[in-house]
Chain A
């Protein structure tokens, strides 16, 4: 018998490299924060070429962090290693988690209210940071950087760095490798580079991975007009948005469940699945949270549908129907739901409430996808007969707060509107009880594992052929 021997490399030398990379990461971060001190930054600017700050902050942090992660995982055997997740530091609501939570929250408040805050006399804190990414903006978009470009750069680096962590962590499981690569690609390629490139070509700003109603204004009359007026590419963008939102969404969800979007494409999901991974177990599993979830998410869906319909009705009535009323509804939604809920609470509270607060309680796109998934979709999580030992790993690591084991221990499949199909419950189960599957809607969708799901039949045709040959 041959066996790949996966001997750990010398732990001492591994420890030394880890420390080195860790220090690099800290220095990068320190320089990044130190640059907020205007004097220091001005001095730096006066002596160094313009791209050096970018390299010393973003560059150094990203590379060292990747090295740090790599050195942590080399020499370990592939498999689920959640050792210490619930007892150590940042992932268990320790002091570090609170500090991180406050920092991210402050960042989001400052970001969304930047103009107001600086107008009100607050320091334009981000100015040095915007300066730092400016060379990148000029390179990619041929335009000066603004706070949103800064945000995009930070967001993308977070997904890339922590995405690499996910790739290491789940290197024994192809489902996780593929979906992590997918969210990394969607963020970097489609939500960061492509929009910048379009700007370079003087085309409208557009994100091909976000659809109505998450990106609510893509189906608002204003955007429709401005996109269509901007000519060829804009027309394509508008139709892409409309077709994806109204046709592709139900069709893809029928075949694959909401996961095709929530844990393969979406940027919010992408951040949750990568940067949010250390915090996934913090989601509340209580019955009350489930009730709150259903009320909130569906109310928000109703509100955004109403606003959209009203805006179009108003449009047809020659903008006379409701006067300014629809517009204030639109901007209030943008402020409270689009900014405060999805950003400030949704991401700021990662270290305290878990990684999918927005996706679970707020996102209207998740609400629609969830309705499709629950009512007509081939997707389900199948439970393998009576193998469940009620250990609770699945429920604990479900970022959507689904009490997976409540189903598994009864031998029932999991068909829940909120399930984003991340597959982590199945990966952490020590008895291999759970499998994400797309199967016939009519056969065995709710009952435990039986034969007959299509995926299985395909295999058996294959084996039959080989056997008969």
Chain B
């Protein structure tokens, strides 16, 4: 391989570039991306808007770093891939030829064809352009409705709230993010949202967004006919893989760009990783799209190894993630499913309702840990799950995992006592 071209400078594309460089000092690497010249941390978007960070603070590597690593950055939009000539062409007309091409084009915000979703004042939260739009909307807004809840919804809510805009969440379930979180944790999020004087309208679906005479958002209407006036509508019902470019180039896609366990598309010398990829497991006959930060990193690393002579399948390992709901921290390790008859749940919650721990056991082995307002050590939890320890075996070890700041109140004695009671 002499020339590697990567489309998309998100975590997946950039990890691929850096890991290839670490293994091959000579290959020419070009990263083309349309959103920004430099790689930045997408999860930090909210902090730019809230004034915690400047854009440059969210760049994981300083601008001078790319020269040192001899990675060429091109700020532009790829319009066309010519897979027979092995070339990509930018909107500006410039063309780049490649030996290997990586698609790391990320996601796009979901919309469901709601009437009025193209009005001024309606937006999702995915990229820097969304932030710019939001900046323009905020001075003329006093209230906002966020449709879809979820991890991005709460961030958008916090952002608007920080600028004094009244926020209402319209959610399909009866409690926030209840599609993923067990009831108790989900209830906890309801409480912290309401404690900030934000509103939740549960069990309701968006029917329509209404314009005023100038074509701006005036209100939304729910399916049961309720009208809520607002000047901003945040649509955050999840994201879907950005496969526009791949489709145009006739690269096979389904939910996302289809790749095998080696992250190869069906077209020779073209690969995909990160949010845009749908990874098929031929053996199991299953496929999955993963749209979180660390899987983008892992996929990029696996792909880099495959691009530099190794042959390894993608193994995401034991799942983990973390998030923050306003001031409430959330961590998860392993599998925590809401309703699975095979699972036994051990749940503890502090008296003030702001700290909780859930251990999930299946077939006598710990499979998942869910934490709100308590931090646990990633490696320790992973180790327990890998070693298939039972909850009974894990209990005496709980304290080892605690990762809360020094002098914090330790809940383990209480938790252990409570769970020991249940186990008896």
Which residues of B sit under 8 angstroms from A393, Cβ to Cβ? 44, 47, 52-53, 57
Select A391's contact among B43, B398, B401, beta carbons within 8 Å: B43
Q: Is the CB of A432 within 8 A of B403?
A: yes
User: Least Cβ distance of B385 to chain A in Å?
Assistant: 13
Q: Is the CB of B53 within 8 A of A391?
A: yes
Which residues of A sit under 8 angstroms from B1, Cβ to Cβ? none
Q: A189-233, CB under 8 A of B: which get 1 and which 0?
A: 000000000000000000000000000000000000000000000
Which residues of A sit under 8 angstroms from B95, Cβ to Cβ? none
Q: Is the CB of A389 within 8 A of B41?
A: yes
Which residues of A sit under 8 angstroms from B51, Cβ to Cβ? 82-88
Q: Is A175 an interface residue (CB 8 A)?
A: yes
Q: Is A29 an interface residue (CB 8 A)?
A: no
CB-CB under 8 A for A82 and B52, given A178-B407, A389-B44, A463-B396: yes
Taken together as a complex, chains A and B put the C-alpha atoms of A435 and B69 apart, in Å, by 31
Chain A binder among B124-132, B183-191, B279-287: B183-191
Taken together as a complex, chains A and B put the C-alpha atoms of A178 and B349 apart, in Å, by 26
Select A396's contact among B11, B57, B322, beta carbons within 8 Å: B57
Q: Is B413 an interface residue (CB 8 A)?
A: yes
For A4, give the chain B residue with the smallest CB separation: B352
Which residues of A sit under 8 angstroms from B406, Cβ to Cβ? 174-175, 423, 435-437, 455
Which residues of A sit under 8 angstroms from B382, Cβ to Cβ? 385
For B48, give the chain A residue with the smallest CB separation: A86
Taken together as a complex, chains A and B put the C-alpha atoms of A458 and B410 apart, in Å, by 12
Taken together as a complex, chains A and B put the C-alpha atoms of A409 and B188 apart, in Å, by 30
Q: Is the CB of A462 within 8 A of B413?
A: yes
Which residues of B sit under 8 angstroms from A463, Cβ to Cβ? 395-399, 412-413, 416
Q: Is the CB of B416 within 8 A of A83?
A: no
Chain A binder among B255-263, B270-278, B325-333: B325-333
CB-CB under 8 A for A449 and B52, given A459-B399, A459-B400, A460-B397: no
Q: Is the CB of A449 within 8 A of B379?
A: yes
- Could you tell me how many residues of chain B have their Cβ less than 8 Å away from some Cβ of chain A? 68
- Could you tell me how many residues of chain A have their Cβ less than 8 Å away from some Cβ of chain B? 66
Q: At the interface, is chain A mostly helix, strand, loop or mixed?
A: loop
User: Least Cβ distance of A402 to chain B in Å?
Assistant: 14
Q: Is the CB of B403 within 8 A of A467?
A: no
User: Least Cβ distance of A225 to chain B in Å?
Assistant: 43
Q: Is A304 an interface residue (CB 8 A)?
A: no
Q: Is B238 an interface residue (CB 8 A)?
A: no
Q: Is A13 an interface residue (CB 8 A)?
A: no
For A81, give the chain B residue with the smallest CB separation: B162
- Interface positions, chain B 142-196, Cβ under 8 Å from A, are 162, 184, 187-188, 191-192, 195-196
- Which of B52, B352, B400 has the most C-beta atoms of chain A within 10 angstroms of its own C-beta? B52
- Interface positions, chain A 296-343, Cβ under 8 Å from B, are none
Taken together as a complex, chains A and B put the C-alpha atoms of A260 and B11 apart, in Å, by 38
Q: Is the CB of B416 within 8 A of A427?
A: no
User: Least Cβ distance of B19 to chain A in Å?
Assistant: 12
User: Least Cβ distance of B392 to chain A in Å?
Assistant: 9
- Which of A395, A430, A463 has the most C-beta atoms of chain B within 10 angstroms of its own C-beta? A463
Q: Is A95 an interface residue (CB 8 A)?
A: no
Q: Is A79 an interface residue (CB 8 A)?
A: yes
Which residues of A sit under 8 angstroms from B52, Cβ to Cβ? 82-83, 85-86, 393, 396, 428
CB-CB under 8 A for A86 and B195, given A436-B406, A463-B396, A463-B416: no
Q: Is the CB of A460 within 8 A of B378?
A: no
- Interface positions, chain B 362-410, Cβ under 8 Å from A, are 375, 377-380, 382-383, 395-410
Q: Is A172 an interface residue (CB 8 A)?
A: yes
User: Least Cβ distance of B134 to chain A in Å?
Assistant: 14
Q: Is the CB of A385 within 8 A of B378?
A: yes
Select A79's contact among B50, B320, B326, beta carbons within 8 Å: B326
Q: Is B226 an interface residue (CB 8 A)?
A: no
Q: Is A448 an interface residue (CB 8 A)?
A: yes
Taken together as a complex, chains A and B put the C-alpha atoms of A450 and B383 apart, in Å, by 10
Q: Is the CB of A450 within 8 A of B405?
A: no
Q: B60-72, CB under 8 A of A: which get 1 and which 0?
A: 1010000000000
Taken together as a complex, chains A and B put the C-alpha atoms of A426 and B329 apart, in Å, by 13
Select A426's contact among B191, B196, B297, B405, beta carbons within 8 Å: B405
CB-CB under 8 A for A459 and B410, given A3-B353, A77-B196, A174-B405: yes
- Interface positions, chain A 66-101, Cβ under 8 Å from B, are 77-80, 82-88
Q: Is the CB of A2 within 8 A of B351?
A: yes
Select B407's contact among A80, A175, A430, beta carbons within 8 Å: A175
Which residues of A sit under 8 angstroms from B293, Cβ to Cβ? 389-390
Nearest first, the 5 A-B pairs at minimum CB distance are A385-B378, A459-B399, A79-B327, A3-B353, A391-B44
Q: Can you list 8 A-B pairs with a CB-CB distance of less than 8 A?
A: A4-B354, A175-B406, A384-B378, A391-B58, A392-B47, A428-B52, A458-B399, A462-B413
